[in-house]
Amino acid sequence: MNSLSLNNLLTAIFDPLEPIYIKSGGELAAPGDPQVTGIIPPVAPGNFGSKAFRKEFDLRFAYVGGAMVAGISSVEMVEELASAGLLGIFGASGLRPDAVEAAVARLAGSLGGRSFGSCLIHTPHDPEWERRVVGIYLERGVTLAEASAFLQISPDLVKYRVTGLTETPDGQIRSRNRVMAKVSRAELARRFFAPPPQKILDALLQKGEITPKEAELARFVPVAQDLTAEADSGGHTDFRPALSLWPSMIQLADELTRKHDYAQPLRVGAAGGLGTPHAFLAAHDVGCSYFVTGSINQACVESGLSPAAKALLAKASQTDVTPAPAADMFELGARVQVLKYGTLFGARSQRLAELYRQYGSVDEIPPAERENLEKKIFLKPLSAVWEETEAFFRERDPAQLAKAENPKFKMALIFRWYLGQASRWAIQGLLERQTDWSVFTGPSMGAFNEWAAGSHYEDPANRRVAELALNLLYGLSVLKRFSLARDLGLVPDDLPLSVKPLPPEELMEVI
């Protein structure tokens, strides 16, 4: 193929909704030309992912903006995604139940029936939260829960899933409530892909929390039809490599669909690392049914994070991230991935986790070290931190104070004060605590920044969550066409192709 033909072909590839007609020698042809020997078909962004998934949630695109804690994935973000035919999940974790209720009530009204989801995080240390939030979702008609941090299937989760199961006259089971499970480990995926445990169903039935019909039908449906395989991501993460994790979860979905003889195939969504069209192409080619993003959305105008923290995110590179102890479960070694650029939270929080492992109580910490903590990290005496913590739990959860008779647990509560406040300071944009900001983010943030460099989206003030999504899907369409052309031998196999984001007015013409 000569370079003129190659240039013409590449130009055509960038208009992915139009078929490309090829004649011998690789030259472009007009439709209907008798010399046409091959066609590269249109690749529409709306055709990626599972058709059943798009149908189930009535979406134009198999794209999900995942939950982000404490309303960072805000009501506005969910509304913006829904208005473009995408699926948004409200960040309910870390919020008080009344705030969750207000948010989902607004969404139920403002979306006029379009789909949305809300996070249901497993809270073994605060079972009342999980119970109340499930009650709110059932009452307010939230029909999709993104279930995260579950280590086992809980009765509240089962109650949510099973409530409203019905059977059509021809024997098909209809679900009112859907669970989208977020998982990084196969043993957990197995539990979500199985029907709810019989023991839990029996107990719920006995308490009258589900009906006999619901209990009967529950034996034929998975806890989660959709399972998001979360690779190395922002926030809580097992740092699993996407290209190992996604295929193994798909294999599991295949095995368990057959084993349980489900009427509908189980689906696996891709999350963790999705920040560029190339990453989307990988997830698509592996066979994932839908795409989930998080980090890139946090720097968007609709996110609940402070503008100052968004500005830091927009400058981060892929390596500006670091593991840190997770505020909720650091005693168990659970970790989150946070921003390293512009904040010292990563290093400081890791130091606290080390001290926690090393000593039995705050009183055992050597005086010089303790002084360092008080002057550099807490900015107040540890005794004052404990007074605040005590006052907080006296009102919220006095059982924690009883447990704090144990000095090691007391130390955990004091350290948790810092780990938790640090996220709040970033959300509020409290500049005097900027060096302590905890901002969850993964390498996909830096990957996106590299991709968007020099474009309309370099400036976070221009990052609108749905436009980013549509640009990524447009880029995916272009790359898919390019890879088809390469497989057909129409472009040199070592020619790299990249596709930049389009400004909004051009984007709307090709999507």
Ligand X SMILES: Cc1cc2nc3c(=O)[nH]c(=O)nc-3n(C[C@H](O)[C@H](O)[C@H](O)COP(=O)(O)O)c2cc1C
Residues that bind ligand X (CB under 6 A): 66-69, 72, 91, 93, 119, 121, 146, 148, 182, 230, 233-235, 271-274, 292-295, 298, 440-442, 444
Q: At what angle do helices 382-396 and 407-428 cross, to 10 degrees?
A: 90
CB of 398 to ligand X, least distance (A): 26
CB of 81 to ligand X, least distance (A): 13
Single-letter amino acid code for the residue at 216: E
- Cβ-based nearer residue to ligand X, 340 or 481: 340
CB of 489 to ligand X, least distance (A): 35
- Tell me the helices (H) and strands (E) count for the chain, helix number first: 21, 16
- Cβ-based nearer residue to ligand X, 266 or 292: 292
CA distances from residue 37 to 15, 18, 33, 345, 484 in whole angstroms, order as listed: 20, 17, 9, 60, 15
CB of 273 to ligand X, least distance (A): 5
DSSP codes, 165-226: -EE-TTS-EE-SSEEEEEES-HHHHHHHHSPPPHHHHHHHHHTTSS-HHHHHHHTTS-S-SE
CB of 23 to ligand X, least distance (A): 43
DSSP label of 440: B
- Cβ contacts of residue 493 below 8 Å, gap of 6+? 486
Return the bridge partners of 29, or none: 21
> How many Å is the Cα radius of gyration of the chain?
25
CB of 195 to ligand X, least distance (A): 23
How many Å apart are CA 393 and CA 38, to the nearest integer?
Answer: 70
Q: Cα–chain-centroid distance for residue 407? A: 36
Yes or no: say if 268 and 246 are a contact pair by the CB < 8 Å rule.
Answer: yes
- Cβ contacts of residue 196 below 8 Å, gap of 6+? 153, 158, 161, 162, 218, 223
Q: Is 349 helix (H, G, I), strand (E, B) or coil?
A: helix
- Cβ-based nearer residue to ligand X, 16 or 235: 235
CB of 271 to ligand X, least distance (A): 4
The closest residue (CB) to ligand X is 294
CB of 236 to ligand X, least distance (A): 7
- Cβ contacts of residue 57 below 8 Å, gap of 6+? 87, 115, 144
- Cβ-based nearer residue to ligand X, 115 or 204: 115
- Cβ contacts of residue 138 below 8 Å, gap of 6+? 159, 160, 163, 177
- Cβ contacts of residue 415 below 8 Å, gap of 6+? 330, 352, 353, 355, 356
CB of 183 to ligand X, least distance (A): 10
- Cβ-based nearer residue to ligand X, 262 or 345: 345
- Cβ-based nearer residue to ligand X, 93 or 154: 93
| Residue 150 exposed, middle or buried by CB count within 10 Å (0-12, 13-18, 19+) | buried
Single-letter amino acid code for the residue at 360: G
- Cβ-based nearer residue to ligand X, 72 or 422: 72
- Cβ-based nearer residue to ligand X, 16 or 273: 273
How many Å apart are CA 386 and CA 276, to the nearest integer?
Answer: 44
- Cβ-based nearer residue to ligand X, 72 or 470: 72
Q: Cα–chain-centroid distance for residue 320? A: 20
- Cβ-based nearer residue to ligand X, 210 or 249: 249
Return the bridge partners of 21, or none: 29, 39
- Cβ-based nearer residue to ligand X, 26 or 443: 443
Q: Which of 335, 339, 337, 297 is nearest to 317 (CA)?
A: 339
- Cβ-based nearer residue to ligand X, 295 or 322: 295
How many Å apart are CA 441 and CA 298, to the nearest integer?
Answer: 8
CB of 488 to ligand X, least distance (A): 32
CB of 438 to ligand X, least distance (A): 9
CB of 328 to ligand X, least distance (A): 10
- Cβ-based nearer residue to ligand X, 289 or 298: 298
CB of 293 to ligand X, least distance (A): 5
